[in-house]
Chains A and B, each alone.
Chain A
């Protein structure tokens, strides 16, 4: 058996390779320590239930473990982890609300006229207010905004995760920004120019 690398500053790819080579749980633990906080926080933010978030985080990491050998490194490991997380949460919300899709048919409908909200306008909203606004808009809209501005995922990556076309995602983000702005105006009228 090879020697265990004690270096905890291994990159994600190195930790995966070492885990697959040695099967030492230590290497999977490096990945767990790095991503569990983010995965749990995302689950809690999207599912809004501690029990569900706990179960989801557990299932997501088991899924990651079972599919680790299939991770092809075409994308960043973080993007892969987040895509599993988002898809898992989508399934839970869909089942809970007995919906076919959490993304309403508006994604497939022809684009209507929606104001294009500049990124800066959304990014400047104060943190505590942003939290309130994100909790007020539909969860599908919240998800695309988190993917774009929190996880810095490219349009292509978001489209791949959600199984939609690039143009559908662009439209979805545009509408989500518009809805967020409307909620902001409604909740905090005193802050509008």
Chain B
């Protein structure tokens, strides 16, 4: 990048006016809040929607929901069980 006096002026201004530390603290505090909000929405919004459907008299497949929820928080899905049983069948063969 070629130097010119506009860039020298920018370098001078950057050197004389560093951003205050509180900006960084505020930004990262906000980012943490956004992340928490995102995780909360991801975890509880489907349940809230289903509760609403229940209240209106609709039907929700709770078994399927439970398996999805356990998958979300790191549990095994139905597919994992199927994979295991099929592999054990293969071993028996």
Residues of A at under 8 Å CB distance from B?
Answer: 23, 25, 28-29, 32, 36-41, 44-45, 54, 57-58, 61-62, 65-66, 123-127, 130-131, 134, 145-146, 149-150, 152
Instruction: State the main secondary structure of chain B at its contact with A.
Output: helix
- B23 CB within 8 Å of chain A: yes
Closest-by-CB residue of A relative to B2 is A152
For the complex formed, measure the closest distance between the CB of A10 and the CB atoms of chain B, giving whole angstroms. 18
Interface mask (B11-38 → A, CB under 8 Å = 1, otherwise 0): 0111001111011101110111011000
Complex CA–CA separation, A32 to B28 (angstroms): 10
Minimum CB–CB distance for B71 against chain A, Å: 17
Binding site for A on B (CB under 8 A): 1, 4-10, 12-14, 17-20, 22-24, 26-28, 30-32, 34-35
Q: Are A32 and B34 in contact (CB under 8 A)?
A: no
Which A residues are in CB contact (< 8 Å) with B23? 36, 40, 54, 57-58, 61
Main secondary structure of the interface of A (DSSP, over half): helix
How distant is the Cα of A110 from the Cα of B6 in the complex, in angstroms? Answer: 29
In the complex the two chains form, what is the Cα distance from A25 to B13 in whole Å? 28
**Alpha-carbon distance A44/B30, docked complex (angstroms):** 22
Cα distance A37–B31 when bound, in Å?
19
Inter-chain contacts of A25 with B (CB < 8 A): 28, 31-32
25 contacts between A and B (CB under 8 A): A23-B35, A25-B31, A28-B31, A36-B23, A37-B14, A37-B18, A40-B19, A40-B23, A41-B14, A41-B17, A44-B13, A44-B17, A45-B13, A58-B23, A58-B26, A62-B27, A66-B34, A123-B5, A124-B5, A125-B5, A127-B8, A130-B9, A146-B6, A149-B7, A150-B7
